Amino acid sequence: MMTRMMTVMATALTLAPAAFAQEASEAAMIDRAGWFEDPARLTQTGGQQVYEAICAACHMPEGEGASGAGDYPALAGNDNLLMPDYAIYVILNGQKAMPPLGGVLDDTQIADVVNYIRTSFGNDFSEDPATPEHVADAR
């Protein structure tokens, strides 16, 4: 009887982590439900929502940038944002550690996030805002 009880306990201890991991994985998927209708496209709309979903992890929530596994430039006070062309180009094509995002963001999302970073984090580059047509031309 003792051997059978030990076998049952050993089996339970072996299976419990797998069950917990599956539950945690399912919970994570539920938390992200609605982020992607099509996993190949980002579905957030509006510059702030796109920034928070895809940019803030590297460039930080307040656009302060970071260094560690890579160098992620600050967007706050970044004179490269004076005109929208640079940001549009980098978002579409990537640069250094930043992957190209033109395949997962549409023209409106890119224009919105460019305008958001140009007018947030203490930046005041509101002249000549990016438009979806501007992004389409850059593609």
Compute the distance between CA of residue 87 and CA of residue 134 in angstroms, rounded to an integer.
Answer: 12
Compute the distance between CA of residue 135 and CA of residue 8 in angstroms, rounded to an integer.
Answer: 62
Q: 7-50: per-residue pLDDT in tens?
A: 444 444 444 444 444 544 554 444 444 544 566 677 788 999 99
Residues 6+ apart with CB under 8 A from 83: 125, 128
| Class (C level, CATH) for 47-138 | mainly alpha
pTM over 0.85: no
Q: 54-94: per-residue pLDDT in tens?
A: 999 989 999 888 888 778 899 999 999 999 999 999 999 99
